[in-house]
């Protein structure tokens, strides 16, 4: 490994350790606290990670680093638009427009009575004193709808802020960015909702008890299950389980696109047939940015050896010529509509129907 690459890897390891340590600033040990990101995620995974902390390699740390890079970008955007960066200690009394958040400057918020807390990515204070929460997410492809875990995390942060700022308007958004493709999308329109926060509070209490081994953790299947280190033996994936709502939405989109794809391919074949009637077997033309070509591959013959016959009739020659060829494994995902069968009528009802038909005849 090149010296500078090795140097960067060591730096990432130190930064990751420092960032992890900064998350342990609640009044209770992290092993007892339910955080906003955990409440929105899978309870079983949180508990299993606590029992067997995952060891991240440098590649995984580079992936995590994307989130920090995006936070640095958002900091710069807020600075450029006239929002003053203040410390968590200054935020409560600082006049707006200002913000707290970003690297090593996140606001720590705790429930005054329950073991529930959060580290907010960004909290903006406007001139009016109204607060606005921004949760930053980096993804490979922005989903059409926000993940439920994102929204639950946002609502938990807004709820905790509302406790400490009872007479202040609090709203928030999830800001998602695909750093590879340069796409950004805001999932907005969220405000503090007491009913939602009460529900998330109950989830937090249960998670805190599960962390302490007092209750069994509840699995919450979702988009990140494929990256979980504890999927084996998870009751959320045992047998033919019910598909979670957010995953079902994605599967239904795939099914609709598959249906459209078949219709589109039929239309393309029909149109190509019409083009072939004009082009014949050989053609090349260009007009208005379109290149139309037609080429013909002539019939051909190739020598073919029947491997089964060669192996049976000449085993020594087969063994001398044969070699093992490795094939890369892959995972196949299929979405197929299920044809629902009409329920069979009870025998008594069927007999009554037959009798009625006979009488009518």
pLDDT digits (tens, 9 = 90+) for 258-314: 888 888 988 898 888 888 888 888 888 888 888 989 999 888 888 888 888 888 888
C-alpha–C-alpha distance, residues 86 and 92, integer Å: 10
359, pLDDT greater than 50: no
pLDDT digits (tens, 9 = 90+) for 217-270: 988 887 777 778 787 778 877 766 677 777 778 888 888 888 888 889 888 988
3-state secondary structure of 212: coil
Cα dihedral: 58, 62, 67, 71 (round 10): 110
**Beta strand 84-85 pairing with 98-101:** parallel
Cβ atoms of residues 231 and 55 within 8 Å: no
Cα 135 to Cα 44, 194, 237, 347, distances in angstroms: 23, 19, 29, 59
Residue 84's Cα: distance from chain center in Å?
33
3-state secondary structure of 186: strand
Shortest CA distance to 109 belongs to which of 151, 155, 174? 155
Threshold 0.85, pTM exceeds: no
Cβ atoms of residues 86 and 100 within 8 Å: yes
pLDDT digits (tens, 9 = 90+) for 27-86: 888 889 999 999 988 899 999 988 888 777 888 788 778 888 899 999 999 999 999 999
């Amino acid at each position: 490994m090149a010296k500078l690459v090795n140097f960067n890897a060591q730096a990432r390891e130190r930064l990751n350790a420092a960032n992890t340590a900064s998350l342990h600033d609640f009044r209770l040990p992290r092993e007892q606290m339910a955080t906003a990101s955990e409440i929105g995620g899978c309870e079983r995974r949180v508990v299993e990670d606590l029992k067997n902390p995952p060891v991240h390699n440098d590649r995984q740390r580079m992936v995590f680093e994307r989130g920090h890079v995006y936070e640095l970008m958002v900091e710069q955007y807020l600075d450029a638009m006239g929002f003053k960066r203040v410390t968590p200690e200054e935020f409560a009394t600082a006049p707006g427009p200002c913000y707290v958040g970003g690297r090593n400057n996140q606001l720590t918020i705790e429930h005054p009575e329950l073991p529930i807390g959060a580290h907010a990515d960004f909290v903006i204070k406007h001139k009016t004193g109204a607060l606005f929460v921004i949760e930053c997410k980096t993804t490979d492809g922005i989903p059409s709808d926000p993940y439920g875990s994102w929204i639950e995390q946002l609502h938990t942060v807004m709820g905790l802020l509302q406790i400490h700022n009872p007479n202040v308007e609090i709203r928030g958004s999830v800001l998602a960015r695909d750093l590879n493709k340069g796409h950004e999308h805001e999932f907005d329109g969220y405000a503090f909702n007491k009913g939602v926060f009460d529900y998330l509070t109950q989830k937090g209490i249960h998670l805190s008890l599960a962390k302490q081994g007092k209750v069994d953790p509840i699995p919450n299947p979702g988009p990140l299950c494929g990256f979980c280190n504890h999927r084996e033996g998870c009751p959320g994936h045992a047998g033919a389980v019910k598909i979670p709502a957010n995953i079902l939405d994605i599967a239904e989109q795939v099914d609709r696109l598959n249906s459209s794809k078949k219709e589109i391919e039929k239309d393309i074949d029909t149109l190509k047939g019409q083009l072939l009637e004009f082009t014949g077997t050989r053609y090349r033309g260009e007009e208005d940015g379109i290149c139309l070509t037609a080429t013909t591959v002539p019939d051909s013959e190739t020598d073919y050896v029947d491997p089964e016959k060669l192996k049976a009739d000449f085993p020594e020659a087969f063994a001398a010529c044969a070699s093992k060829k490795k094939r890369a494994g892959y995972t196949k995902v299929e979405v197929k509509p299920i044809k629902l069968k009409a329920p069979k009528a009870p025998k008594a009802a069927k007999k009554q129907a037959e009798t009625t038909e006979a009488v009518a005849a």
